[in-house]
Structure 1
Amino acid sequence: SADNKTLLGAVLVGDTSDYGNLLQLALNGIALPENPDGLILPAHAGSKPAIGVDSLPESAQICSCFDVSKGDIIQAVNKGCHTVAALKAETKAGTGCGGCIPLLTQVLNAELSKQGIEVNHHLCEHFAYSRQELFHLIRVEGIKSFEALLAKYGKGYGCEVCKPTVGSLLASCWNEYILKPQHTPLQDTNDNFLGNIQKDGTYSVIPRSAGG
């Protein structure tokens, strides 16, 4: 903003893990920290920026598909919903486009920590590793496909959480064309079909033309 106190917008390239928090900062007009560059630069001494899900008001919208607020998530956690799957069943958050699942997970983990409940940092039920741990495994061992990673370090068939995450990690490590046959199933619907899915189930598509 003109007074350098609030965030108006952002363009994320590469690691978009902070998208949910940045979006909420813009939507709710939350004041930026003293050093705003800490929101996008690597954390000092392993610490995270001061602004996180705890700073969001309970009125903050977590899921736009079903209009689920942070307060709704907190109430569900207090009722005993201690997993993302349980929150989906109780509130429907994350059952639409799925884009809110990372932020939903952050709110869940924050509330569980407040209640003294151990937080599971596994990516999902199919991988007993965090995103950072999977990145190191892919990079160090030269793994270049979701199937190879799943066979060696995972279980099951994958889900809407781990597939796009692993797809992003593979792209970060090896920079292969994301619509190769082996990578296409890993992409979010919007990326897979090169269009944006709307709330009513229709798509908005911008045809690509050579030369821009």
Structure 2
Amino acid sequence: MIQNHNSWSVCISSDFELNFLIYVASTYDLLKEDISESILWPSRQRVKSDELHQKLEIQWKWFWDCSIQQKAHKNNHHVSFVLGLPDFKLVEQHELREVLVHLWPSFRQWWYMPAGGQAAMNYWEGIPDLIRYVQEFEDEVGRKIKPFHLNVDLIYNGPNELIEVTEEYIIMPIKIEYLMKRDWWMSRFTERY
């Protein structure tokens, strides 16, 4: 977490649960949003029938929405209902639970490998030079930035655009135009703080 005398803080982290859900959605092509095709992760798998695919899309979307709303309203301090591992008994939808159980071993293998997901996400968490951006913003506008707190969960793959769940919680793909571009942060500071 990066903060300055309790007037502002930004917590950038990689959420295990959200990355697993994105992994599942990417594997079975469940995302309706414009997704990054440049990352060949994970390998795609086909669902046996269109009817089952449609069911999975609906179940996954509901589960995703519940998860991000729960995280937003509990300020990232919640007990995950996905991590009832390894059997996912807390997932009521049978089809989704089967997919989660099936993909869990391959996700864990990818996440924990030496050059895998967790290592990549740890790298990206430290990229933004937020203290410098805030100082430059304050110099440009001639005042201190207004107090704020922002939680940013990074996702390895998935939607190309960030998802602003609330003003204090966003889900951001690991993309240079968000994490490394001063202009993006300055624009956010100007609009909100």
Say yes or no: TM over 0.5.
Answer: no
Higher helix proportion (structure 1 or 2): 2
Q: Which has the higher contact order (CA 8 A, sep 6+)?
A: 2
TM-score, scaled relative to structure 2: 0.25
TM-score, scaled relative to structure 1: 0.23
Higher strand proportion (structure 1 or 2): 2
